[in-house]
């Protein structure tokens, strides 16, 4: 083993150090001097790394490697049983931005039971969607309206805004859904689509009032 090989092994070992600062520096080093031998270990670490800022550096390190090396590993990882592995792989794919990854963004991932995975899938989908597939994506995303808390709903609304006017039919259909949370979220997203600078909190509260008044009017008939 050469001295260079020995140094590479030592840096890879530091990814498992108990100190997050050491792991962060190791990820930075692996991205600064990319090497095909690093890819598998970087992806493996993404699946278990507890610190957000270290995961972000691991993702950056992966983006420094050729997509021809990283894509096959990441595409396998989105099918992992570990939620964090799926989420980080999707996040990294969105950063790489190679549309060859699009077929991996399945309906199952867009509706994943784990909210972090679903949110990562939403972000990745709007960046990777091929031309002509946007309407179908909007229809798939519309099935998730009303899901989760404020952060999750805001993530989905941002995905709709990123897709643009093509989402109008899907959002319009969702405003008549049986679930009031779905209707409110759809209305709030419509508002953000018209005015991206509008605050989400105001938009969602206003939408809730509209839905509540509508439901009250229907009950009074």
Where is pLDDT greater, at 204 or 149? 149
What's the CATH number of domain 1-128, 1.10.1240.10, 1.10.3470.10, 3.40.50.2300, 1.25.10.10?
Answer: 1.25.10.10
Beta carbons within 8 Å of 123's beta carbon, 6+ residues apart? 90, 91, 94, 155, 158, 159
The reported pLDDT for the residue numbered 211 is 66
In a 13 Å sphere around the CA of 5, the CA atoms on its Cβ side amount to: 2
pLDDT of residue 219: 37
| pLDDT value for 167 | 96
Q: What does the domain layout of the chain look like in residue ranges? A: 1-128, 134-221
- pTM over cut 0.95: no
Say how far apart CA 18 and CA 184 lie, in whole Å: 45
Q: Residue 220 — very low, low, confident or very high, per pLDDT cuts 50/70/90?
A: very low
User: What residue has token string 């759809």?
Assistant: 186
Residues 88-113 have a mean pLDDT of 97
Q: Taking 90 as the threshold, does the pLDDT of residue 212 lie above it?
A: no
pLDDT for res 217: 42
69 has pLDDT over 70: yes
CA pseudo-torsion sign 162, 77, 82, 44: negative
């Amino acid at each position: 083993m050469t001295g260079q090989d020995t140094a590479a092994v030592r840096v890879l070992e530091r990814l498992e150090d108990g100190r997050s600062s050491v792991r962060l520096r190791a990820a930075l080093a692996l991205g600064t001097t990319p090497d095909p031998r690093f890819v598998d270990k970087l992806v493996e670490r993404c699946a278990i790394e507890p610190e957000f800022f270290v995961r972000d550096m691991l993702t950056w390190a992966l983006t420094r490697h050729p997509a021809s090396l990283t894509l096959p590993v990441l595409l396998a990882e989105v099918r992992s049983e570990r939620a964090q592995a799926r989420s980080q792989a999707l996040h990294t794919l969105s950063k790489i931005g190679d549309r060859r990854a699009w077929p991996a963004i399945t309906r199952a991932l867009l509706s994943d039971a784990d909210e972090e995975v679903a949110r990562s899938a939403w972000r990745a989908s709007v960046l990777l969607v091929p031309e002509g597939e946007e309407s179908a994506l909007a229809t798939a995303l519309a099935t998730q309206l009303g899901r989760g808390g404020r952060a999750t709903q805001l993530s989905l609304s941002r995905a709709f805004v990123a897709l643009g006017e093509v989402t109008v039919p899907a959002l319009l259909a969702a405003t008549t859904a049986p679930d009031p949370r779905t209707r409110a979220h759809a209305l709030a997203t419509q508002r953000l689509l018209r005015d991206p600078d509008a605050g989400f909190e105001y938009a969602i509260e206003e939408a809730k009032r509209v839905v509540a008044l509508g439901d009250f009017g229907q009950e009074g008939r």
